[in-house]
Amino acid sequence: RLSTVHIDVETGASLRESLSEAERAAVVDALEKTGGNQSAAARMLGIGRHALITRMHAFGLARPKKTR
């Protein structure tokens, strides 16, 4: 699934930084849309759950606490 990402080249951010920001935003959006369900968010993004957790760690995003 493709979507459009707008990158403002006048900000002085490198392509790598801009892509990282877009990826972080996609991860946050998927987690919000799934109520923090990592498996569902990973499916939405087309990646594995462990890959999602790795990206969350890289972006400094906390893993949601499980409620029982």
CATH of the domain at 35: 1.10.10.60
pLDDT given at position 68:
56
50: in domain: yes
Task: Report the 10 Å Cβ neighbour count for 44.
Answer: 18
Compute the distance between CA of residue 31 and CA of residue 16 in angstroms, rounded to an integer.
23
In a domain, 68, yes or no: no
Count Cβ atoms within 10 A of the Cβ of residue 42 and give its class: 0-12 exposed, 13-18 middle, 19 or more buried.
Answer: buried
Q: The domain containing residue 30 runs over which residues?
A: 9-58
Q: Does 14 map to a domain?
A: yes
- Strand extents, DSSP E, 1-68: none
Residue 48, domain member (yes or no)? yes
29 domain residue, yes or no: yes
23 within a domain of the structure (yes/no): yes
Structural domain contains residue 41: yes
pLDDT in tens, 26-59: 999 999 999 999 999 999 999 999 999 999 999 9
| Number of structural domains in the chain | 1
Q: Are 39 and 48 in contact (CB under 8 A)?
A: no
